[in-house]
Amino acid sequence: MRVLVLYDYPPSPAGLATQGSLLHKGLEEAGVEVHSAHFESAQEKEWYYRWFEPDVIVGVGYWGHAPYLVLHPQRYGVQPVPWLVGDGYLANYHEVLEALPLILVTSKWVKKVYTRDGLTGHNIEVLPVGCDTDAFVPRDKSDPKVAAVREALGVAPDQIMILTVGGDATSKGAQEVMQALALNDIKAPDWKYVCKVWPQPRTEQQNLIDLQLATQLGIEKNVVYTTNVISRNFMPYLLAACDIYASPSRLEGFGMIQVEANACGKPVIGIKAMGMLDTMVHGETAFLADIAQEIVLREAMVGDESGYESGHRVVFKKPRTADYRASVHDIADYLMDLMTNEPLRKKMGEAGRKRATENYDYRVVAKKFAEIVSDKLGIL
């Protein structure tokens, strides 16, 4: 089997790039002939089509990337297999996607979204995102590299560190976590809440709103927002530095960092919805808060990114859930359970590590990919 993987290549630290990079790594280690290219690089893709003659093109992205991941390979007679994440709803490219023999999605929830929005689902298979369980491993907080992370963040050795990581913190449920921490503050052990976000204009504005909320809640001295560009080399140590990884995301098609936190032996607080129903086991590897609210839309404005003209208005026949809000009271209860019970944190972390290794290791995912392609396309 000859495979060309299309993603944000060379890989940045972002989730989609990591998803593609780890698939490449797993296939290569399994002896598959594999190369990678940037999904938007028409010239480089055509170069690979001509001399490498791949059997299959795996494109990592969302449905709006169909021109790069599907239409371009088809133009040159090469078989595309898009590996798609969710993005709220499927607004375009229904006919293009429906005609494919195989589409990969990252979770059962993403498949549900695509079928809700008009695809039959007959050609959709679930392939989870891989995790490098050799890099993301349990580490003692006395490890100098881990201790240095906590020190740099202003977290004392005896403080409970709760961590949220994302492009922004709000979409990962940070506001709900802060409200929960405020409910627990007086009765909880000494704690620090760290939000690691990606530097971008949107994030800067959202950070100010989040920090204003922390001030209103009276917990601003215990909340740390850090906005830096970091590499994948740093992430295992950042996760190892925390005691609890809290990310009851408002929209989550898979939850890669939750899986990485589990791989590092950390218990997770999430939401009982979306991709986390696949990746987390409530009460065993994570505590999943109930849904308190669904944000529902009746219409949306889309544009070039969706294959429409700018300002195109889409009116839904049925209102669509755009994102979710987790129960603050559930989060508060679960935080108290974990903050006051170190053996419970350890037990759930060990279970999370075992599940991540068995189900989401990048080699396991690469093997499953090869099995799906062989079964559905007859490519060996």
pLDDT, averaged per 10 consecutive residues of the chain (380 residues), comes to: 97 92 98 98 98 98 95 97 86 93 97 93 98 98 97 96 95 97 95 93 85 96 92 95 98 96 98 97 98 89 75 81 94 98 98 98 98 95
pLDDT at position 95 is 96
Tokens at residue 359, please? Answer: 């189900």
pLDDT at position 199 is 84
Tokens at residue 137, please? Answer: 């491993």
pLDDT at position 52 is 98
pLDDT at position 229 is 85
Would you say 276 and 282 are in contact if contact means Cβ atoms under 8 Å apart?
no
All structural domains of the chain, each given as residue ranges with its CATH number in brackets, are: 2-130+361-377 (3.40.50.2000), 144-290+327-359 (3.40.50.2000), 294-325 (no CATH)
| Tens-place pLDDT, residues 101-136 | 999 999 999 999 999 989 999 999 999 999 999 999
pLDDT at position 310 is 81
pLDDT at position 299 is 83
pLDDT at position 50 is 97
Is pTM beyond 0.85 here?
yes
Name the region of 274 (left: φ>0; alpha: ψ -120 to 50; beta: rest): left
Tokens at residue 301, please? Answer: 């404005």
| Tens-place pLDDT, residues 298-312 | 887 777 766 777 888
| Tens-place pLDDT, residues 322-353 | 899 999 999 999 999 999 999 999 999 999 99
Amino acid at 170: T
Of the candidates 108, 92, 105, 52, the one whose C-alpha atom is nearest the C-alpha of residue 76 is 52
